Amino acid sequence: MINNPVTFSIDYLADASKDIPNMVVQLSFLVMSGIIVMVFAFAKDLNQARKGVMTTVLIEYMFLILGSCVIYRAAGDVMKYELTPFWSYVAIDAGQTELIEENLMNIALGIPVGFLLSFIFTHRSWWKAALVGFLFSSVIELSQLVLKRGLCEFDDVFHNTLGCVIGYGVGVMMLWGIGKVITKND
């Protein structure tokens, strides 16, 4: 079981991203930084700048996730898939407790996507965050299947989408709380 979730997350992400060449990561952060500077230089107002920055960070995050899950992962010999919904819960019940951590990490993988989307969408719509999470996760899973770079599974799509909705909810609550503090101080 996970003793320290923060340490586990850092170690897991470091391990998951080890296959992405350093040059690619550095170049992508350089491009992202340049775009963020241009967004601030040309934005008409702070709200527009915020959306531009959050969109840029979201695209960067998605690129890094796609890189670590598909692009830079070694190809296998066969297509692997498990499309039975919630098969991992049956396996966990049968004693494969390592799948608990995998499911939690797939939820955690979606949280930043939803959190960033809460700053991008002007109308609070959790279903839009769920749709983006579902589509992004589906692209990853189908790419893994077609390119033979991992196990394509429904459970990952479900957990990533759930994480996206959770992240969106956290972002909306944070924005609501900030709005209340600003209103209170005016």
pLDDT above 60 (res 170): yes
Q: Of 23-32, 82-91, 114-123, 152-161, which gets the smallest average pLDDT?
A: 23-32
DSSP letter at 71 equals I
pLDDT, tens digit, 9 for 90 and up, residues 32-69: 888 989 888 888 898 889 899 999 999 999 999 999 89
Given this model, what pLDDT does residue 118 score?
A: 94
- For the chain, what is the domain count? 1
pLDDT, tens digit, 9 for 90 and up, residues 70-112: 998 889 999 999 999 999 999 999 999 999 999 999 999 999 9
Per the structure, the complete domain to which residue 34 belongs is given by: 5-185
pLDDT above 60 (res 1): no
**Euclidean distance between CA atoms 21 and 142, whole angstroms:** 23
Residue 93: count of CB within 10 angstroms of its CB: 10
Residue type (1 letter), 117: L
Query: For 15-41, what is the mean pLDDT?
Result: 80
